[in-house]
Structure 1
Amino acid sequence: METFKASIIRGDQNTILALNVGDNRYDIILTEDNPNGVKTVFNRLLQQLKNGVFNFELEDSTEDLYFHISKEYITQLNSELSNVYNELKDYELLNE
């Protein structure tokens, strides 16, 4: 299983959870209510998942509210990715 890095980008206007998968970066804006944006990121991660199972590890040194939200988000995301990978495998939908 490959582990990719996730980081928090704190800006003046927005705070972003950045998920780095190889050369690609997928952003989830934490300071916005945008379910379609989250859905788009999740769909892109599912496409990557067909190439092999992976999870995320949060790299951040500032333990603020965004850190705790992101940590829980990553935990849930890793669980979902693992479950979906197993389903893709069961239905022989992997690119491997």
Structure 2
Amino acid sequence: MKQKVVVRFGTKRRKSRSKALTIAVGVQGVTSVTLKGQDEMEVVGDMMDSVVLTTLLRKGLGFAELVSVKEEKKEEEEKPVVVSPYYYTYGPPYYYTN
């Protein structure tokens, strides 16, 4: 189950953002981390614990707030229907004799 988590952290300094990204990448199950604005980041992961992520950010930065947690759903692509060809079977030829 893929999750998309948005976390807000308190500081807007460059060093704090770098530290927040480093902490977020270290959490088990995280696949990507992106910054949204100055003080928010979006973390996408598979089977990750958002509470553990927020707790680690609070320990490292001093303030972190869990804004949202959403399940990321993939749009299912329709597979084209493959129609197998139908082979006609004929019996042996008939010969007419007089």
> 1 or 2, which has the higher helix percentage?
1
Higher relative contact order, chain-length normalized (CA < 8 Å, sep 6+): 2
State whether TM-score is above 0.5. Answer: no
Q: TM-score scaled by structure 1?
A: 0.31
* TM-score (norm: length of structure 2): 0.31
Higher gyration radius (CA): 2
